[in-house]
Amino acid sequence: QVQVVQSGPEVTKPGSSVKVSCRASGYTSGSYGFTWVRQAPGQGLAWMGWISAYNGDSKIEKQFQGRLLMTRETSTATAYMELKSLRSDDTAMYYCATTVEGSTGWYEKLDYWGQGSLVSVSS
Amino acid sequence: DIQMTQSPSSLSASVGDRVIITCRASQTISRYLHWYQQKPGKAPTLLIYEVSTVQRGVPARFSGSGSGTEFTLTIDSVQPEDFSTYYCQQSHTLPPTFGQGTRLEIK
């Protein structure tokens, strides 16, 4: 049974950075991917990026290029999402989602979701 | 980017009703179309993937169909626990994009 657990809420100031972690358990190999999705208050879902747990390949949505850094740590099955130069409109719930084992592409369905990490950006 | 447009944005239904939600893509997306359910305050969950395959554990009253650019999610005999927001998502072309969501409310 795969479980995805994210780090807790963050309160930050404009211009700063935030780093959210996402730990997956229940996989027997590194053949899966992590996807980051965010949801602003009262809004819909927005795809941010994907990183392969297998080889670290990644894709980033163009609006986040230059501000978003995704990494992963294979020994702990943990992915990290760091968003820099935060603005007030980055206030959102950030979700990490993973794929079934063996499904490694950015195009895969999102099978398992973390509980979300609320990031609040305010001066 | 491929735009995904859901209709309606919200609808009211009674328990036992049949509900149909439509999702239109701005370009052909083959079968790379998935549906998610999100209950208030919770993370989304996968309902249906690749147009019509129902995720394990999802009740059989949920079904999906469509092709090309037009897709539907059908709930036969809506139950109280189905009142949620539903999102379609395409994963045919980068970046994957979601519809704006359809909020299903109790009439």
- List pLDDT tens digits, range B74-107: 999 999 999 999 999 999 999 999 999 999 999 8
B102: nearest CA in chain A?
A44
B36: nearest CA in chain A?
A110
pLDDT in the model for residue A104: 86
Residues of A in Cβ contact (< 8 Å) with B100: 44
Please provide residue B82's backbone torsions phi and psi, each rounded to the nearest 5 degrees: -85, -10
Contact A45 B94 (CB under 8 A): no
pLDDT in the model for residue A102: 86
Contact A115 B43 (CB under 8 A): yes
CA distance A38 to chain B (A): 11
Give the number of A-B residue pairs with CB atoms closer than 8 Å. Answer: 53
Q: Which pairing describes strands A33-39 and A92-98: parallel, antiparallel, or unpaired?
A: antiparallel
Contact B91 A106 (CB under 8 A): yes
Consecutive 10-residue averages of pLDDT for chain A (123 residues): 97 98 94 96 98 95 97 96 98 96 91 98 96
- B86 and A CB contact within 8 Å: no
- Tell me the CA end-to-end span of chain B in Å, nearest whole number: 35
pLDDT in the model for residue A103: 87
- List pLDDT tens digits, range B38-74: 999 999 999 999 999 999 999 999 999 999 999 999 9
pLDDT in the model for residue A90: 98
- Omega of the bond prior to B59 within 30 degrees of 0, cis? no
B43: nearest CA in chain A?
A115
pLDDT in the model for residue B59: 97
Q: Which of B47, B43, B45, B42 is nearest to B21 (CA)?
A: B47
- A18 and B CB contact within 8 Å: no
Residues 60-79 of B with CB under 8 A from A: none
Contact B99 A44 (CB under 8 A): yes
Contact B44 A44 (CB under 8 A): no
CA distance B36 to chain A (A): 9
Residues of B in Cβ contact (< 8 Å) with A44: 87, 98-101
Q: For the stretch B59-96, what's the b/e string if a residue is b when 16 or more beta carbons lie within 10 angstroms of its beta carbon?
A: eeebbbebeebebbbebeebeeebbbbbbbbbbbbbbb
Residues 58-87 of A with CB under 8 A from B: 59, 61-62
Contacts 24+ apart (CB under 8 A), B50-55: B50/A109, B55/A111
